[in-house]
A = this chain, B = another copy of it.
Amino acid sequence: MLRIAQIAPLAEAVPPKLYGGTERVIWWLTEALVDLGHDVTLFASGDSATSARLVPCAETGLRLAGINDHTASLIAMLDRVLRAADQFDILHFHVDFLHFPTFRHLAGKCLTTLHGRQDLPDFRPAFATFREMRLVSISDDQRGPIADAQFAGTVHHGLPRDLIPFSEKGGDYLAFIGRISPEKRPDRAIEIARRAGMNLKIAAKIDRADAAYFEAEIEPLLDDPLVDYVGEIGDADKAAFLGGARAMLFPIDWPEPFGLVMIEAMAAGTPVIAWRCGSTEEVIEPGRSGFLVDTVGEAVAAVDAAGSLSRAGVRAAFEARFTAERMARDYVRLYERLIGEETTALFGKTMIAAR
């Protein structure tokens, strides 16, 4: 049994009230670690709900509380973590690099999962300066732009086995889910549906930043009788939306570091047709859980092929590789390796001191 601290960003509650992929993954991980018998403490906002011990570090999630700059709340939380650090075997951080300066002397028991894209130069000075802090990538592809940073491993996300039930039958439409934004390429999804002559249901929110893009590029395409924009859907409707689809389209045009919605579709038994981009090659097994494509033409062909894929096989691919339990076991293996290295290092020091 390990004494584990999970340190969450304070942007959203754990689990989040609305959106928040990172907080959702932290929630699943924390529950799965508790299920595996570990002693887990969660540093997160006060409106979080967990089977672990909760240390509330802000009244509520900061975004919905209207706090724009989260840094002060985070460094105040990190101060609490630091004061409690000797109560833990492992400190697992999900706050990018903000803890590096104050935890470098404890680097041997710190692990940091990077949840975001790393192709922008903004974060690099932190990885270059605090090289003793060990990182975890959520896909191998995510590491590309910072390949020389100090990675301890890749742990793909997982979700609870029973969160999205297997849907044996599927249906007669293509699904697009997420955000309407240029890098998610809903325009490609619409073109694929038209050329395949198949219905497309779009369940997506439109962030304020993407309103102009929606109006200029996407809204004019929604007239097509094949295309049905159903707006934003909640978690409760997601299983039915994904489970009722022939295939999910994931025609992204940016280095998506993981892409939770792919494994959500797989959990429902729905194959995923994804652009070969970012993490998709690591998630999709072509011909088993979906298809990887480079062009709209290939995607149209994949829509056809998806109809003859075994939905039970898609579900099996999910269960084999993308459950929260598998994710938790992967992390425990990394925790144990870290502790082992630390013990070796200490033992080495003792030997030298004894001479």
Residue ranges of A at the interface with B (Cβ–Cβ < 8 Å): 58, 67-73, 75-76, 78-79, 82, 97-98, 100-102, 120-130
Known: A101-B102, A102-B101. Is A122-B68 also a contact (CB below 8 A)?
yes
Further pairs besides A71-B98, A76-B128: 16, Cβ < 8 Å: A58-B125, A67-B121, A68-B120, A69-B122, A70-B122, A71-B71, A71-B126, A72-B97, A72-B122, A72-B124, A72-B125, A75-B98, A75-B100, A75-B101, A75-B126, A79-B101
- Chain B residues contacting A122 (CB-CB under 8 Å) are 67-70, 72-73
Give the interface SS of chain A, mostly helix, strand, loop or mixed. helix
- Chain B residues contacting A58 (CB-CB under 8 Å) are 125
The distance in angstroms between the C-alpha atoms of A98 and B78, with both chains bound, is 12
Min CB distance, A127 to chain B, in Å? 8
Please name 6 pairs of A and B residues whose Cβ atoms are closer than 8 Å in the assembled complex, sorted by A.
Answer: A68-B122, A71-B71, A72-B126, A75-B101, A76-B129, A78-B101
- Chain B residues contacting A70 (CB-CB under 8 Å) are 122
- Chain B residues contacting A76 (CB-CB under 8 Å) are 125-126, 128-129
- Chain B residues contacting A71 (CB-CB under 8 Å) are 71, 97-98, 126
Q: In the complex, what residue of chain B is closest to A10 when comparing beta carbons?
A: B125
Min CB distance, A104 to chain B, in Å? 9
Min CB distance, A337 to chain B, in Å? 26
Q: In the complex, what residue of chain B is closest to A129 when comparing beta carbons?
A: B76
- Chain B residues contacting A97 (CB-CB under 8 Å) are 71-72, 75
The answer on a CB contact under 8 Å between B98 and A129 is: no
- Chain B residues contacting A123 (CB-CB under 8 Å) are 69, 72
- Chain B residues contacting A100 (CB-CB under 8 Å) are 75
- Chain B residues contacting A124 (CB-CB under 8 Å) are 72
Q: In the complex, what residue of chain B is closest to A70 when comparing beta carbons?
A: B122
Most buried by B among A70, A122, A124, A127: A122
The distance in angstroms between the C-alpha atoms of A129 and B73, with both chains bound, is 9
- Chain B residues contacting A82 (CB-CB under 8 Å) are 101
Min CB distance, A118 to chain B, in Å? 11
The answer on a CB contact under 8 Å between A130 and B67 is: no
Q: In the complex, what residue of chain B is closest to A125 when comparing beta carbons?
A: B76
Min CB distance, A196 to chain B, in Å? 38
The distance in angstroms between the C-alpha atoms of A97 and B101, with both chains bound, is 14
The distance in angstroms between the C-alpha atoms of A133 and B36, with both chains bound, is 43
- Which 7 pairs across A and B sit closest by C-beta, in order of nearness? A72-B126, A76-B125, A76-B129, A69-B122, A101-B102, A72-B123, A72-B125
Q: In the complex, what residue of chain B is closest to A101 when comparing beta carbons?
A: B102
Known: A72-B124, A102-B102, A122-B72. Is A129-B79 also a contact (CB below 8 A)?
yes
- Chain B residues contacting A128 (CB-CB under 8 Å) are 76
